């Protein structure tokens, strides 16, 4: 079915039924997931699905309806609901749709081969990664391996004449295992994602990391409550990013609900803090030619060598702030309105090797796992659970579990004094390993 035509026709219909402006967003896709455990297939899930979201504006009032039935009657019904719902919302002159007809050219987002590879080969791959992860004798149980894939198409049309379509594919491979010793249990897991089957990381690499994460944490020792340097391993650096992401959301900024709201152009972190949002890398796992409402994506520097440079906007919030959309409209699928969110959001790599960062640390904590909500985007406070390794005289001496770390965004961003070269851009949110001068650690 030609969904672009369906979308364009539907936009016209919205206008005919009384909308001043309208947008239709259609998603259509297929997904497959395979779970394997103990060498056997545990679950196979497969489905194709689709749906449409209709956004209408009547005299500045906005409403939305979605349906996963693309039959004419069902869509008419959804349209009627949206128009009716637009009567109850508040008019706002900022309620507008984008008109930028451009597309950001990005290669490698769709691999038509994924769907053609036989199911058996995918099952074999999941079995293989599980087997590899179980190879080490310290690994005693499997928590399963998973292969997943999805391919789909997004269509956006609006009454400003915008009509865009983009196809993409993605696949992922992961495994999770348990190491046991006496009464102790320790879990480790790793996954990787890519746009193409052939770009998945080698199963050996992913499996070895899952196993290592599990057995390395056996025999933890208690640690006293103290202040010490804290190294965030590249695996957990994202814990720093979530709160910043919330704080550079243009709507939160306008609402006064961001700790970065009035810091534009100011130095908020050390020289090593360069934070980027990029929707454009070739084959990028978070790349797309246009955002959730059709605005071309871009690469945007949020923090440049410690100086706050930009917030993120979708079309409506940008108009309210008197700026241009940054192409950061995101949707949680066809059932939701576009909010504001990142593409690939990452802290730029530094030059140090992980070993050198450890070597340069007299005493300190190397964090391998962080739990909790990260930095609070409203006030910048941070508190989280942590486990990892204790470092003395530049060497890892023992694993530690059940600790807490706490501080403020200010302390953390300004305290970053070393950054590693180990940035992994196969993740949507990524940082290299970095060391923070001093944080409060809670333990015994």
Partner 1 sequence: MKFTSYSAEDIPRRKFLELSLKGGIGLVAAPSLLRGLLAGQPAARPELAFEDLNKVIRHALSQGGEFGEVYVEHRISRSILLEEGKFKSAVFGISQGAGVRVISGDKTGYAYTDEITQEKLIRAAEVASFVARGTKSIKPVDVKEEKRPSYITVKVPLQTVADEKRLEIMKRAHDAALAYDARIKMASIDYYDEVRSRIIANSEGLYLSDELPLLFFIVQTLGVGNSTSHMGRERLSRHSGIEMFDELKPEDAARTCARESIVMLEAKDAPAGKMDVVMQNGWGGVLVHEAVGHPLEADNIARETGVFVGKLGKKVANEKFTMVDDGTLPCFRGTTDYDDEGTQMKRNVLIQDGVLVKFMTDILSAKQIKMERTGNGRRESFRNIPIVRMTNTFIDRGKDKPDEILALTKSGIYVQSLSGGSVNPTDGVFNFTCREAYLIEDGKKTTPVKGATLIGNCLDVIQGIDAVGDDLDFGPGICGKGQAAEVAAGQPTVRIRGINVGGSRAR
**Subset of residues 409 to 438 that bind partner 1, contact rule: CB under 8 A:** none
Selected binder of partner 1 within 112, 202, 355, 373 (CB under 8 A): 373
Q: Which is nearer to partner 1, 142 or 280 (CB)?
A: 142
Residue 56 CB neighbour total at 10 angstroms:
28
β-strand pairing of 416-419 with 434-442: antiparallel
Query: Within 141-180, which residues bind partner 1 (CB under 8 A)?
Result: 141-144, 178
Shortest distance (Å) from residue 350 CB to partner 1: 26
Query: Within 245-284, which residues bind partner 1 (CB under 8 A)?
Result: 255-257, 259
Buried b (16+ CB within 10 A) or exposed e, 378-387: bebebbbebb
Residue 349's nearest CA partner among 292, 411, 431, 280 is 431
Q: Is 409 left (phi over 0), alpha (psi -120 to 50) or beta?
A: alpha
β-strand pairing of 163-181 with 139-158: antiparallel
Handedness of CA 266, 407, 348, 394 (dihedral sign): positive
- Of 63-71, 349-357, 417-425, 426-434, the segment contacting partner 1 by CB under 8 A is 63-71
Structure tokens at 278: 């990029």
CB 243 within 8 A of CB 254: no
Q: Return d(Cα 389, Cα 440) in angstroms, integer.
A: 16
Shortest distance (Å) from residue 62 CB to partner 1: 6
Strands (DSSP E) along 59-208, which ranges?
Answer: 61-67, 139-158, 163-181, 184-194
Residue 151 CB neighbour total at 10 angstroms:
21
In Å, how far are 78, 105, 154 from 11, measured between CA atoms? 13, 25, 16
- Of 229-237, 307-315, 396-404, 426-434, the segment contacting partner 1 by CB under 8 A is 396-404
Q: Which is nearer to partner 1, 108 or 442 (CB)?
A: 442
Shortest distance (Å) from residue 44 CB to partner 1: 5
Selected binder of partner 1 within 158, 168, 325, 387 (CB under 8 A): 387
Beta carbons within 8 Å of 283's beta carbon, 6+ residues apart: 107, 108, 109, 194, 195, 196, 199
- Of 42-50, 156-164, 294-302, 323-331, the segment contacting partner 1 by CB under 8 A is 42-50
37 binding partner 1? (CB under 8 A): yes
Shortest distance (Å) from residue 331 CB to partner 1: 12
Selected binder of partner 1 within 3, 25, 64, 311 (CB under 8 A): 64
Size of the site for partner 1 (CB under 8 A): 85
Q: Which is nearer to partner 1, 189 or 327 (CB)?
A: 189
Q: Which is nearer to partner 1, 204 or 219 (CB)?
A: 219
Query: Within 118-147, which residues bind partner 1 (CB under 8 A)?
Result: 119, 141-144
Strands (DSSP E) along 38-68, which ranges?
Answer: 40-58, 61-67
Q: Which is nearer to partner 1, 351 or 398 (CB)?
A: 398
Residue 400's nearest CA partner among 427, 434, 363, 432 is 363
Selected binder of partner 1 within 29, 51, 269, 289 (CB under 8 A): 51
Q: Which is nearer to partner 1, 46 or 271 (CB)?
A: 46
Shortest distance (Å) from residue 72 CB to partner 1: 5
Selected binder of partner 1 within 5, 39, 80, 161 (CB under 8 A): 80
Q: Pattern 295-334, binding to partner 1, x per CB under 8 A?
A: ----------------------------------------
Shortest distance (Å) from residue 434 CB to partner 1: 19
Residue 335's nearest CA partner among 28, 68, 19, 16 is 68
β-strand pairing of 429-430 with 344-347: parallel
- Of 148-156, 165-173, 222-230, 388-396, the segment contacting partner 1 by CB under 8 A is 222-230
β-strand pairing of 299-304 with 395-408: unpaired
Q: Which is nearer to partner 1, 66 or 297 (CB)?
A: 66
């Amino acid at each position: 079915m030609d969904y672009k035509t369906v979308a364009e026709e539907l936009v016209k219909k919205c206008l005919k039924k009384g909308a001043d402006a309208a947008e239709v967003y259609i998603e259509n896709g297929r997904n497959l997931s395979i779970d394997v455990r103990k060498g056997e297939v545990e679950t196979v899930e497969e489905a194709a699905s689709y749906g449409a979201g209709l956004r209408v504006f009547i005299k500045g009032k906005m409403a939305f309806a979605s349906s996963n039935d693309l039959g004419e009657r069902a869509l008419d019904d959804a349209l009627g609901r949206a128009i009716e719902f637009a009567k109850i919302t508040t008019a706002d002159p900022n309620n507008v749709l984008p008109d930028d007809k451009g597309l950001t050219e990005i290669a490698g987002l769709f691999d038509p081969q994924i769907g053609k590879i036989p199911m058996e080969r995918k099952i074999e791959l999941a079995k293989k990664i599980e087997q590899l992860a179980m190879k080490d004798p310290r690994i005693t149980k499997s928590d399963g391996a998973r292969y997943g894939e999805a391919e789909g198409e997004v269509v956006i049309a609006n009454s400003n004449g915008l009509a865009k379509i983009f196809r993409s594919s993605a696949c992922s491979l992961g495994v999770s295992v348990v190491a046991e010793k006496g009464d102790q249990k320790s879990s480790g897991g790793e996954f990787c994602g890519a746009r193409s089957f052939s770009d998945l990381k080698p199963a050996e690499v992913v499996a070895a990391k899952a196993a290592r994460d599990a057995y390395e944490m056996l025999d933890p020792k208690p640690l006293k409550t103290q202040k010490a340097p804290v190294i965030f391993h590249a695996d957990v650096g994202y814990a720093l990013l979530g709160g910043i992401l919330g704080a550079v959301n243009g709507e939160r900024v306008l609402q006064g609900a961001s700790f970065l709201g009035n810091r534009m152009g100011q130095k908020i972190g050390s020289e090593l803090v360069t934070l980027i949002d990029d929707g454009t890398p070739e084959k990028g796992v978070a790349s797309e030619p246009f955002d959730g409402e059709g605005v071309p994506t871009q690469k945007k520097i949020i923090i440049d060598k410690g100086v706050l440079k930009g917030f993120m906007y979708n079309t409506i919030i940008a108009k309210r702030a008197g700026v241009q959309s940054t192409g950061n409209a995101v949707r949680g699928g066809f059932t939701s309105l576009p909010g504001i969110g990142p593409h690939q959001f990452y802290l730029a790599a530094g030059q140090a090797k992980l070993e050198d960062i450890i070597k340069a640390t007299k005493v300190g904590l190397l964090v391998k796992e962080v739990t909790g909500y990260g930095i609070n985007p409203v006030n910048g406070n941070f508190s989280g659970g942590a486990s990892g390794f204790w470092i003395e005289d530049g060497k890892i001496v023992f694993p530690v579990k059940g600790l807490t770390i706490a501080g403020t965004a200010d302390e953390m961003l300004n305290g970053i004094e070393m950054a590693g070269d180990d940035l992994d851009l196969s993740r949507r949110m990524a940082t290299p390993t970095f060391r923070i001068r001093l944080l409060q650690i809670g333990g015994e």
